[in-house]
Structure 1
């Protein structure tokens, strides 16, 4: 029996001392400090925008960072997904019985605001571990052991995490889907009518037989967990690498490629990112000149020139639309990035936008090679 994930608590990152991730999340994307902890060689800072919480673990110490694990990965990366469960002790036993490695046995942490119990298990996705958290008896702003950080309130650009995209090795999606289903209660979410869960949604991009395979997973209704998207490369007949292959190479294996952050106003959020000095991927010039694209954008209630100026992609039909914009990597290794997403009734991820993202990544890589 699976241990249902009830809610995403936070996404944790491990970075070396002096890496600017925490600063960039505040300056470029409107995240605000929520809670902090410094102990055992670690500087941990939780940052929040709406219900989206990132925990940045900076440094390296003799003990594990609280609520996580230091796997000494070769490059800075997202290393842990923390899910709330009903009973952390019971969940750890169930998953250990299923063959999951229990990296941190259940630990109870207390402070003046209550207590929480957590355990850390391995996952089949590269260096990404999973924290199972039980915190019903805690009333603080984040987690026991952290001191609250009160910052000036500011407009929220982001309301919550919409989805998590996991870059996978070719052919691994069915195995990963079964693991998330059997262990955490995720179910297949079809992205197209009649989609085969074993094949997912195949999106041909570029020339030859290249493309991406996307398999979406969700928890039962009533749980506050973002959609998981498994992304892998299809067989290719052309040279070069697509975005997933590039990630696997630069991240030294599979992992969390990007987080989709939901914004109720993508025009305002994108403008603020650009004003703050953030860098966004530029869609190919031909994207906005596609036949019917201007009509599609206007049908969604937007001005084509404004979307083009900010690099916002739009896809959809029949009154349901999806708007997306992608940042460049937050790390020098050119791995993890963010996505701002606004939905106008659409529930998928826009096949046309996937192709546009692929082409913009390819063009960006080509410009880097020419520099």
Structure 2
């Protein structure tokens, strides 16, 4: 591994001026402002929920935003993952020696609270760049160059980032897996017994309906890096696009499709998000009517009717369970979304839940597509997920 990463520092988003993405994170998901920087045509606002930090880069300056890279990408999206490394200079040199592009060579930033060194490398995952950050000795709330933003304590529904899911081109997962292994020290995490790393886990949606291929990667041993999940579509006989293919089309290529936010109480988090106006996906009704599902929910210590009302998916066995809720898209382009996740001993992602998510997203996409067919409707009538004007 050329540049082993130690932990995820933040996830950066690039949005146009006026898009209320930062406000939506605060209003609907309980994120609190942490630090801000306004310079060189950029407004950069860092928001936090527990250890999960999102950096919203708004604008289009002449230069690069601090700690990142202007993706020159016309679609609002998650554009950068920032990782802590032991030595940013050495990491950049090692990656360059492997043939990686380093559009932002090591830069030192200092203010009265300390210093940091960072470099930015491109990744093979579409418009997603990676920042390698060294900030030993910095004592501020975020990073040098940012001013603290006073804020009241938030609800803290989420404690940290559980996983990151990349939507990938068909058959590209093996290449991406090797890149993240060789460059950053990630290694294969089997999602099923005896899983072939080159094939991943195939979750079929039904006969002729395609499905998903998932390949999970863990960070280097001893790191505190979220699981990285590579998702690509399986071939199918039916026409139209599934949600991975829709993401690739609307995002104009591969990229970060969703972030899984860990919550110690999915009941509280779901109630809070829904009560604040956040829009969540509704699972298929048949999900809770599957044979044994009620018994499974009861065995996990939950009330079946309550989970059904909240749209919470539950999977697992042998005393280890996984609970998940998915939001609708946070952008009008119907691309990036969030996942709320609680683990009761489970380490995987639940094949039953994956199928249910697949079906619910497909049904939501069909509803949106049907709405947009009306002759008098324009793009504003076909929102992605959050009614930001609410």
- Return the TM-score normalized by structure 1: 0.99
Shift of 1:238: 1.6
Q: Which residue of 1 aligns with 2:381?
A: none
Secondary structure at 2:366 match in 1: helix
* Structure 1 residues 263-316: Cα deviation after superposition (integer angstroms, max 9, x where no partner): 000000000000000100000111101111101000000001000111000000
Q: Which residue of 2 aligns with 1:160?
A: 160
* Structure 1 residues 9-46: Cα deviation after superposition (integer angstroms, max 9, x where no partner): 00000000001110000000000000000001100000
Q: Is the 8 A contact 1:74 1:252 kept in 2?
A: no
Shift of 1:116: 0.1
- What's the C-alpha RMSD, in Å, of the aligned pairs? 0.8
Secondary structure at 2:153 match in 1: coil
Shift of 1:366: 1.5
* Structure 1 residues 154-211: Cα deviation after superposition (integer angstroms, max 9, x where no partner): 2210000000000000000000000000000000000000000000000001341511
Q: Which residue of 2 aligns with 1:328?
A: 328
Q: Which residue of 2 aligns with 1:202?
A: 202
Q: Which residue of 2 aligns with 1:126?
A: 126
Q: Which residue of 1 aligns with 2:266?
A: 266
Q: Which residue of 1 aligns with 2:235?
A: 235
Q: Which residue of 1 aligns with 2:77?
A: 77
1:154-193 matches, cutoff 5 A? 154-193=154-193
Q: Is the 8 A contact 1:206 1:359 kept in 2?
A: no
Q: Which residue of 1 aligns with 2:384?
A: none
Secondary structure at 2:71 match in 1: coil
1:12-91 matches, cutoff 5 A? 12-91=12-91
Q: Is the 8 A contact 2:6 2:220 kept in 1?
A: no
* Structure 1 residues 294-348: Cα deviation after superposition (integer angstroms, max 9, x where no partner): 0100000000100011100000011100000000001000000000000000000
Shift of 1:243: 1.5
Q: Is the 8 A contact 2:10 2:81 kept in 1?
A: yes
Shift of 1:236: 1.0
Aligned-partner Cα distance in 1 for 2:74–2:43:
19
Aligned-partner Cα distance in 2 for 1:352–1:142:
39
How many residues are matched? 371
Q: Which residue of 2 aligns with 1:246?
A: 246
- Return the TM-score normalized by structure 2: 0.94
Secondary structure at 1:102 match in 2: coil
Aligned-partner Cα distance in 2 for 1:229–1:365:
22
Shift of 1:221: 3.3
Deviates more, 1:124-133 or 1:208-217: 208-217
Shift of 1:150: 1.6
Deviates more, 1:216-225 or 1:275-284: 216-225
Q: Which residue of 2 aligns with 1:344?
A: 344
Q: Which residue of 2 aligns with 1:279?
A: 279
Aligned-partner Cα distance in 2 for 1:5–1:218:
11
Q: Which residue of 2 aligns with 1:370?
A: 370
Q: Which residue of 1 aligns with 2:388?
A: none
Aligned-partner Cα distance in 2 for 1:331–1:370:
19
Is 1:301 matched with 2:301? yes
Deviates more, 1:233-242 or 1:7-16: 233-242
Q: Is the 8 A contact 1:113 1:144 kept in 2?
A: yes
Aligned-partner Cα distance in 1 for 2:74–2:266:
34
Runs ≥4 residues deviating over 2 A: none
Secondary structure at 1:162 match in 2: strand
Q: Is the 8 A contact 2:121 2:130 kept in 1?
A: yes
Shift of 1:244: 0.8
**What are the ranges of 5 or more consecutive residues in structure 2 without an aligned counterpart?**
372-390
Aligned-partner Cα distance in 1 for 2:161–2:206:
29
**What are the ranges of 5 or more consecutive residues in structure 1 without an aligned counterpart?**
none
Q: Which residue of 2 aligns with 1:214?
A: 214
Aligned-partner Cα distance in 1 for 2:363–2:257:
19
Aligned-partner Cα distance in 2 for 1:57–1:29:
18
Secondary structure at 2:103 match in 1: strand
Aligned-partner Cα distance in 2 for 1:225–1:49:
17
Secondary structure at 2:90 match in 1: helix
